[in-house]
Structure 1
Amino acid sequence: MYAERRARLAAQMQPGAVAVLATAPEVLRNGDSDYPYRHDSYFYYLTGFTEPESVLVLVAARGDAPARAILFCREKNLEREIWDGFRHGPEAARVAFGFDEAYPVDELDAQMGKLLANVPALYYALGHSAALDAQVSGWLKAVRAQGRTGITAPSATHHLSGLIDEMRLLKDAGEQTLMARAAAIAAAAHARAMRFTRPGVFEYEIEAELQHEFRRNGAQFPAYTPIVASGANACVLHYSANNQPCRDGELVLVDAGCEFDGYASDITRTWPVSGRFTEPQRILYELVLQAQEAAFAAIVPGRPYSDMHEAAVKVLAGGMLDLGLLAKSKYASVEDAIADKAHLQFYMHGTGHWLGMDVHDVGPYRDLSLPAHPSRALLAGMALTVEPGIYVRPAEGVPEQFWNIGIRIEDDVLVTEGGCRILSGDAPKAVAEVEALMGEA
């Protein structure tokens, strides 16, 4: 699988060109303790290799010379393995991961001086790492210094990430399976958190239930810092303190997903702390559900990505007018309210984002090949989230019964040939379903 991806990337490169891609560095937390290590997504997508201090070099085919995939990684070191764990070493990594060549990472500078000599172009993600930028600059300088001997340096530099972004946008069967597993684990975690919730528990206790279910089912990490926001905290989009008690009569908004074998899930559910929605909470909650259903219906291959957002906004804005959140006397129609951007007071974010190895996955949302850069068309194999919401802060003219209610409902979706498949559907979200689950607890 990884070799096939490398071959596809090399085929898009200029003949004989060289691409350089490094994994993420280890990062010191404090003293002599590092943050938990997580590989670079681009690097992992092309290699499947998770060890730090690793670099991939691709050489595109030219004439009779075939394409080559070269790995630079840490040497085998039995003493360090006692302290830090198993290392493949170059030769074992070459065999296990299907590289054509592999060398110790300490030889990178010396080898790159040879690999960049007399090649037409370099593909590299400039600005991704200041340290690697400096190293690449040194390689090019060393090659140019040999100009009097007839050796030439690459005459062009191309941005590497853009090519990989387009590849990563379309998930193959293996990726779809991993994403479905990540979504299933996160869905079970949300159900567990619902059963646990009751008045008086702290937000961090709910977070602990989520994390327990993630790890119990084999997920390696949370895909991002979980949001557990009760009461007015739910009106803070990226709330992360998770340190307040959950009170009777409030809602709790939980945005949490896990990472399973390199792929993220991203689910948001909102439920009543007491186990039953109040009438104002239920009204707003079902409005958000209706908006999500409208967005799902707009996810069809060939339709613009932006259609799902527009469908959700139309439903939400209409509900805001009907409920008195927006003044009907001011707007002759839903379209007028949207044109005036009045809905932004209560719904200020987009309805989704790409999903994959990164929770906010790579790839442009617009078709950059067309002059006006319109929203790009959806294709089968794309994965995205659908996350409409409504957030009502106290304000003059806003009905008090809705104050401090924040609701978001988010699912993970795969675009299919006939429409879409909801990967996270096991996470309860219908009013009756949520109340029944919490009632059992």
Structure 2
Amino acid sequence: MEDVDFSFILDDEFDAVAIARRDDFDTWKSKKYPAKEHARKVAKELDISDGIIYLPGQATVNYEDSDQPPPLRQRRYFFYLTGANFHDCFVTYEIRADTLTLWIPYVEPRQVLWFGSTPDAAKAKQLYDVDDVRYSTQLDKFLESRFKSSTQLFVLHPDQTPSKAKDLKFKVNDWKLQPAMNNARCIKDEYEIAMIRRANDVSSAGHRKVAEMLLRLSNEREIEAIFQAVTTARGARSQAYPVIAGAGVNASTLHYEDNDQPLEGKELVILDAGCEWNCYASDITRTLPIKGQFSTNGSAVYKIVQQMQEECIAAVKPGIKFYQLHLHAAAVGLKGLHKLGILKGDLMEIAKAGTITAFFPHGLGHHVGLEVHDVPGNLPLMVLVNLGLDGGKRDMISADMLKTMRLYDEELVPSRLKSSRERQVLKPNMIVTVEPGIYFCREYIEGYYLNNPDHAKFIDKDVLEGYYSVGGVRIEDDILVTEDGYENLTAAPKGEEMISVINAKGGKQ
């Protein structure tokens, strides 16, 4: 890739596309992270009038047998109550007194020499939306002063209970806090939406630059490098998840991360990449034709996935059950593959068998927030409660699971499972991905479907053979649920716009 000029990283051209979004971000970037509001939301979800919430932040820990630490990734629950993104902190929230206290490490001058300064107590009080900032050396005395035999200490996990609380025999509750925080985190406030919007804008700039340069690239690793260069140059050094840049058959692996294979001889490349902004994630996928135009087969599959996504996004609004959108996407995919001749036979019989899961094997989407696969609240986003699965992208959707979803939808689930029929409905200020995909993973299809007569009879092996080289197609946007519908937070080019970008600026120079 000797002819590629990396001076592109400071190009501001994309900002013209996102100019309306910048005003929204500028409104919030000067404000404090709303930690106190978050603490009150959590207390409301706990539905109690007294007690202390206690959370540790990420401790300084080196790699095993090394003097080097991994990059800081702040504990997300801790960050939600503080906005503080440095090591060795703690937070307490006294519910009755409505007092949020950040506990920070004391940094002596020799540490400043080696590692730079972290905020002292006075500076941290200015930076963070908390009532008090104290040094963590005082935490034990604080717990002693607050101890009563009836005092409840709320922690996320038993192993996060402070040793002093054990000595004092606090009543420790380690099962209520996480569900309460999950419910609070599931509905984003305006500050959080602004952070996720910003992450989407920066990531969209990275996707656009990859499209502009695609025809000059020769290896998956160059795609990864360009995306990360753009996001880093724009202020987002952390990726929400490892970049996926899978070309050809690699596009049929959902979480492919090697990113080291040549593009030559491949038709499509899936770029699934999203940065973080202030610990908030974005999650964007585009499927790009490596030579600038889709082949006949590639185009046909892309159009199916495009239809799946467009129709599902258009249906997003408060009150919608997300798993029903998944069923709709599966139905659109089934009809599309049937029209191509990959699937054969009666459409209703194919649907009942769940054979579409051979090609659409993951959930339609998931929540996005402080985690790229963010917490869903007290109910899963999809419907597989009794199976212990949320049904998101990380969960495999088998034929049996899809059939179970259809039973839920038709209210035919057995009465003994009625309690598990509860499912999450979309609410304003939830942010979810809509990311349908069609994949041609030979090992998966042959191992689980072509060897199963219940499915093999619906798959035309000869027609399918011509599609394995496509690899896979996935398109993913981050969708904000609004009061009366939705807003698509993702501006990365797709469809015809993407093709125009690739061919307008991506040619050999």
CA contact (8 A) 1:183 1:257 kept: yes
Q: Does the CA contact (< 8 Å) of 2:231 and 2:275 recur in 1?
A: yes
1:291 deviates by: 0.4
Quote how far apart the aligned CAs of 1:77 are: 2.2
Per-residue deviation at 1:308? 1.6
Counting only pairs closer than 5 Å after superposition, residues 84-163 of structure 1 correspond to structure 2 as: 84-126=115-157, 130=159, 132-133=160-161, 136=162, 138-144=163-169, 153-154=170-171, 157-163=174-180
1:10 aligns with 2:43: yes
Q: Deviations over 1:152-191 (max 9, x none)?
A: x327554312111111111111211221111111111111
* Contact 2:218–2:263 (Cα < 8 Å) also in 1: yes
Equivalent position amino acid for 2:100 in 1? A
How far does residue 59 in structure 1 lie from its aligned partner after superposition?
1.3
Deviation at 1:321, TM superposition (A): 1.6
Identity of aligned residues (%): 29
**Which one of the candidate residues 327, 341, 348 is aligned to 2:354?**
341
Please say if 1:416 is aligned against 2:492: no
Tell me whether 1:22 sits opposite 2:53 in the alignment: no
Q: Which amino acid aligns with 2:59?
A: P
Separation in 2, partners of 1:51, 1:75: 12
Q: How many residues align?
A: 416
Secondary structure of the residue aligned to 1:197 is helix
| Structure 1 unaligned spans of 5+ | 145-152
Distance 2:497 2:49 in 1: 57
Measure the CA separation in 2 of the matches of 1:168 and 1:388: 25
CA contact (8 A) 2:93 2:100 kept: yes
- 1:382: which partner in 2? 430
Residue aligned with 2:438, SS: strand
Following the alignment from structure 1 to structure 2, what is the Cα–Cα distance between the partners of residues 104 and 155? 23
**Residue range with higher mean Cα deviation, 302-311 or 251-260:** 302-311
Choose the corresponding residue for 2:104, options 58, 61, 73: 73
* Alignment partner of 1:45 is 2:45: no
Mapping for residues 117-266 of structure 1, pairs under 5 Å? 117-126=148-157, 130=159, 132-133=160-161, 136=162, 138-144=163-169, 153-154=170-171, 157-198=174-215, 201-266=218-283
CA offsets per residue over residues 370-404 of structure 1, 9 Å max, x none?
Answer: 92242211101000111000111345715222113
Whether the 8 Å contact between 1:76 and 1:90 is mirrored in structure 2 is: no
In the other structure, the counterpart of 1:147 is none
Look up the SS of the partner of 1:404 in the other structure. Answer: helix
Supply the AA of the counterpart residue of 2:380: R
User: Any gaps of 5 or more consecutive residues in structure 2?
Assistant: 1-33, 386-417, 451-460
In the TM superposition, what whole-angstrom CA distance separates every residue of 1:220-271 from its partner, at most 9, and x where no partner exists? 3111100000000000111000010002451011100000122111100011
Residue type matched to 2:420 in 1? Answer: A
> Which residue does 2:399 correspond to in 1?
none
Does the CA contact (< 8 Å) of 1:228 and 1:254 recur in 2? yes
For residues 49 and 63 of structure 2, the distance between their equivalents in structure 1, rounded to whole angstroms, comes to 42
Change (3 A) 1:119 1:56: farther
Is the CA contact 2:100–2:130 (under 8 Å) kept in the aligned structure 1? yes
Query: Would you say the 8 A contact 1:23–1:40 is kept in 2?
Result: yes
Q: Is the alpha carbon distance of 1:196 and 1:29 closer, same or farther for their aligned partners in structure 2, counting shifts above 3 Å?
A: farther
Structure 1 residue 11: Cα displacement: 4.2
Is the 8 Å Cα contact of residues 162 and 363 (structure 1) preserved in structure 2?
Answer: no
Distance 1:192 1:220, change over 3 A: same
Secondary structure of the residue that 1:166 maps to in structure 2? helix
Whole-Å separation in 2 of the counterparts to 1:142 and 1:176: 41
**Residue type of the partner of 1:21?**
L
Distance of 1:303 and 1:181 partners within structure 2? 26
User: Deviation per CA, 1:386-436, whole angstroms, max 9, x where unpaired?
Assistant: 100011134571522211321100001100112111110x21111x32222
- TM-score, with structure 2 as normaliser: 0.77
Write the letter of the residue equivalent to 1:68: T
1:311 lines up with 2:332 in the alignment:
no
C-alpha contact 2:154 2:172 (8 A) present in aligned 1? no
Q: TM-score, normalised by structure 1?
A: 0.89
Match of 1:372 among 420, 424, 427: 420
Instruction: Name the aligned partner's letter for residue 6 of structure 1.
Output: A
State how far apart, in whole Å, the 1-side matches of 2:204 and 2:267 are.
22
* Contact 1:182-1:265 within 8 A present in 2 as well: yes
Equivalent position of 1:56 in the other structure: 91
Higher strand share: 1
Residues in 2 aligned to 1:438 and 1:297: alpha-carbon distance in whole angstroms: 26
Cα contact 1:121–1:158 (8 A) shared by 2: no
Instruction: Kindly indicate whether the alpha-carbon contact (under 8 Å) linking 2:45 and 2:183 is maintained by their aligned counterparts in 1.
Output: no
Q: Indicate the larger mover: 213-222 or 357-366.
A: 357-366
- What displacement does 1:12 show? 4.4
Task: Report SS of the residue matched to 1:56.
Answer: strand
Aligned partners of 1:215 and 1:366: how far apart in 2?
Answer: 33
The separation in 2 between residues aligned to 1:199 and 1:247, in whole angstroms, is: 11
Tell me the alpha carbon deviations over residues 292-351 of structure 1, each in whole angstroms, 9 at most, x when there is no partner: 0121122110111212211111100111222122222xxx22x43232110111110001
The one-letter amino acid paired with 1:173 is: E
Alpha-carbon offset, residue 117 of structure 1: 3.0
| AA matched with 2:374 | D
Once residues 297 and 428 of structure 1 are traced to their aligned partners in structure 2, the CA distance between those partners, rounded to angstroms, is 18
Contact 1:119 1:154 survives alignment (8 Å)? yes
In terms of mean alpha carbon deviation, does 388-397 or 223-232 score higher? 388-397
Q: Which has the higher contact order (CA 8 A, sep 6+)?
A: 2
Note closer, same or farther for the CA distance 1:28–1:76 as it changes in structure 2 (3 Å cut): closer
Q: Is the 8 A contact 1:298 1:311 kept in 2?
A: no
Distance change (3 Å), C-alpha of 1:249 and 1:276: farther
SS for the counterpart of 1:438 is helix
Higher helix share: 2
